[in-house]
Amino acid sequence: MSSMGFGGRIALAFLTSFSCVVAAKQGAIDLALENAHISPILYFPSATAELSSRQALHVQLGPLVKDLATTDGKSLVPELDKAWQTFAALQRHVAYLRTQSLEDTQDQTVKSAYDAVATDESVLRTAIDNRVRQVPQDQVSSLGAYALLAARLHADATHASNADLQVYRSSVTKPHERAIADAYNALISAVTSSRGTAASDLATRRAAIARRDQAYDAAAPVAATLLATLVDLENRDAVAQGYANAADRKYESLGLSSDVLNQTLAAVGAESSAYRNYQQIIAEHAARKLGVSPILSAEQDLAAVKPPPIPLSAGRQLILDALRPLGQDYGDRFAALLDPANGRLDLTGGSHRARTGTSIAVYDAPVALYYSGYDGSLRSLSVIAHEGGHAVHRELMNASGIPIYQRTGPNYLFEGFALLNELLVLDRATHIANTPAEREYALERLLSTISFELFASAEETGFERSLYLTASGHAPLDRAQIDKIYQDSITPYEYWPMSDVGTSRQWMQKSLLFEDPLYLVNYLYAAFVAVALLDKAESDPDFARKYAALLRRGFDAEPQTLLQAMGIRLDDPSLAKATSRFFQARTAELQSLYVSEAHAPFSAR
Ligand SMILES: [Zn+2]
């Protein structure tokens, strides 16, 4: 007995000291992660070396562009090799200066150096494209690695802009569009005030929400004029280039036809009851927790669970575990990226630092990850998984040595791959949750991400497309027309009444409408790509190998061909159904957690 008791105490003492060691080690890892910095010598041995290399490249650029323009067919390929090597060298400076400017947003010298290199890069890219465009069709195959570039440029040339249109675009259309985006940002920052809108006292909160809505309402006519003018400018530019309207032009540039888009919107629309059901469950839960009925859509987030922050070391482990279906090599690369010792990671917050998450793109050097804003939430872990995903994708394309022009492709594929990482992390968080509260929190995040990326994107894409189609060939739209188009676009999806979510404020808040016309469609297809990949990751035993091959090959074919290699077709009607089934199953899990919480005699939260 005594010896057992003694042994037990020893064991306990050992365990205590062991867990202290573990805790101390975890603490040290957390500290190292929190203070992780991108190494100042990751891209150049010193600031002096960077500057002299940058100046030398700038001097070489003029002669290089001239040689490229005048080179004959025989020496074109070696000349293009040289040009792309220079492009990669310039990008290394972009990476260096970008990192510096993220770490200190106030540094004007770095900013102007960055702008200068970016300009050199675009001058070189234009020179490359202009020369390759001149290669006659029957000689394209002699271009070897550049044949695909030539084929793409020739395909674009069917809608080539003439010189007059180019001049008009750069002197009238583009400056107008920039002015519209600036005016929009000034307008919105003047009306945005969330003061009191999250107050726990109902009367205070509702008064604040009403004040905010009135401010938006007063600004709506101006916002409508800005948006209508932008739509008109874009449509006119597209018509001058031989397209029916700007929406058709954009979708064609993404390799998507109007037919595919119609099918997608119809397929998502057919699953809208799953979205309404989800919205209703969230709304009723929030109404019960806040003790108010009916609840406003603006209040639903106030009831969300806020669990204790996840330490970075645990968060990193969660990400690496979640990404296991993507294969050993992918996981090893991600782990190396998230190892502070490698100097490719920056998670430090602080003053003068850019509040953003991004990957540092470079072609002939290590990629890096920057994120300031880690707060221990699942949302911030998603950002690391997402941006780190962009970094590892770039690293894999670099490792395969494909031509640099093939390392860039449609945004919806890039974003789809990154979104897959987010979904894997959130899905894993739902499975490893230790308590119902943790599981509820993870499910809320997962469902909110899918519903936002898929259903809200379908609403937005439908709305933006209708704007451009309705305005095409007509006088610019007014506020009443925009409101009506907005309501018509979202009504088929929504649980919330239009008096709540169908107001001008809702479309006014969508800044991309004003800043990057017709970009929103990318989110819709990114969601489709991500959920289709998630489905394959679970169902295809050979998924990791195929996915690695997909990432490594970059964009050596049209998006549809790339996806076909994974067995994915964007126009496959069952894609939306499969997503919807997954979404409904996880919604049902959340609902049952809500139900048992409501029936618990005393709620801890
Ligand atoms: Zn992204």
| pLDDT tens-digit map of 81-93 | 999 999 999 999 9
What is the CA(218)–ligand 1 centre distance, in A? 34
Q: How far apart are alpha carbons 514 and 401 in whole angstroms?
A: 37
What is the CA(556)–ligand 1 centre distance, in A? 20
What is the CA(426)–ligand 1 centre distance, in A? 16
What is the CA(511)–ligand 1 centre distance, in A? 17
Confidence of residue 258 (pLDDT cuts 50, 70, 90): confident
The answer to whether the CB of 338 falls within 8 A of the CB of 346 is: no
What is the CA(522)–ligand 1 centre distance, in A? 11
What is the CA(390)–ligand 1 centre distance, in A? 7
What is the CA(420)–ligand 1 centre distance, in A? 11
Bond from prior residue into 309 cis (ω within 30 degrees of 0): no
| Residue 495 phi, psi dihedral angles, 5° rounding | -85, -40
Summarised one tens digit per residue, pLDDT across range 359-398 is 999 999 999 999 988 999 999 999 999 999 999 999 999 9
What is the CA(416)–ligand 1 centre distance, in A? 8
Q: How far apart are alpha carbons 100 and 272 in whole angstroms?
A: 45
What is the CA(222)–ligand 1 centre distance, in A? 31
| Residue 359 phi, psi dihedral angles, 5° rounding | -100, 150
Core vs surface per residue 393-419: b (16+ CB within 10 A) or e: bbbbbbebebbbbbbebbebbbbbbbb
What is the CA(409)–ligand 1 centre distance, in A? 13
Q: How do strand 345-346 and strand 368-371 relate by DSSP bridges?
A: parallel
pTM: 0.89
pLDDT at 160: 60
Q: What share of the chain is helix, strand, coil (3-state, %, to 5)?
A: 75, 0, 25
What is the CA(352)–ligand 1 centre distance, in A? 23
What is the CA(313)–ligand 1 centre distance, in A? 23
What is the CA(597)–ligand 1 centre distance, in A? 36
Position 489 pLDDT exceeds 50: yes
Position 75 pLDDT exceeds 50: yes
What is the CA(418)–ligand 1 centre distance, in A? 6
Sheet with 368-371: list strands edge to edge.
345-346, 368-371, 357-360
What is the CA(414)–ligand 1 centre distance, in A? 7
What is the CA(386)–ligand 1 centre distance, in A? 6
What is the CA(526)–ligand 1 centre distance, in A? 10
What is the CA(381)–ligand 1 centre distance, in A? 14
What is the CA(351)–ligand 1 centre distance, in A? 24
| Residue 136 phi, psi dihedral angles, 5° rounding | -60, 150
Q: How far apart are alpha carbons 179 and 185 in whole angstroms?
A: 10
What is the CA(369)–ligand 1 centre distance, in A? 12
DSSP alpha helices (H): ranges in 271-371? 272-290, 312-322, 328-337
Q: How far apart are alpha carbons 526 and 328 in whole angstroms?
A: 24
pLDDT at 22: 58
The answer to whether the CB of 255 falls within 8 A of the CB of 558 is: yes
What is the CA(241)–ligand 1 centre distance, in A? 30
* Averaged confidence pLDDT in the chain: 91
Position 18 pLDDT exceeds 90: no
Pick from 485, 523, 519, 524: which is nearest to 502 by CA? Answer: 485
What is the CA(521)–ligand 1 centre distance, in A? 14
pLDDT-above-90 percentage for the chain: 76
Q: Residue 11: CB partners within 8 Å, gap ≥ 6?
A: none
Three-state DSSP state, 360: strand
Three-state DSSP state, 368: strand
Pick from 383, 386, 378: which is nearest to 315 by CA? Answer: 378
What is the CA(387)–ligand 1 centre distance, in A? 6
What is the CA(415)–ligand 1 centre distance, in A? 5
What is the CA(136)–ligand 1 centre distance, in A? 37
What is the CA(523)–ligand 1 centre distance, in A? 10
Position 303 pLDDT exceeds 90: no
pLDDT at 1: 33
Summarised one tens digit per residue, pLDDT across range 79-125 is 999 999 999 999 999 999 999 999 998 999 999 999 999 999 999 99
Q: Residue 443: CB partners within 8 Å, gap ≥ 6?
A: 430, 586, 589, 590, 593
pLDDT at 156: 73
What is the CA(392)–ligand 1 centre distance, in A? 12
Place of tokens 């169908």: 502
What is the CA(501)–ligand 1 centre distance, in A? 27
Position 11 pLDDT exceeds 50: no
The answer to whether the CB of 102 falls within 8 A of the CB of 71 is: no
Burial of 1 (0-12, 13-18, 19+ CB in 10 A): exposed
Q: Which of 54-68, 191-205, 350-364 has the highest mean pLDDT?
A: 54-68
What is the CA(13)–ligand 1 centre distance, in A? 48
Summarised one tens digit per residue, pLDDT across range 184-238 is 999 999 988 778 999 999 999 999 999 999 999 999 999 999 999 999 999 999 9
Summarised one tens digit per residue, pLDDT across range 466-487 is 999 999 999 999 999 999 999 9
What is the CA(371)–ligand 1 centre distance, in A? 13
What is the CA(225)–ligand 1 centre distance, in A? 30
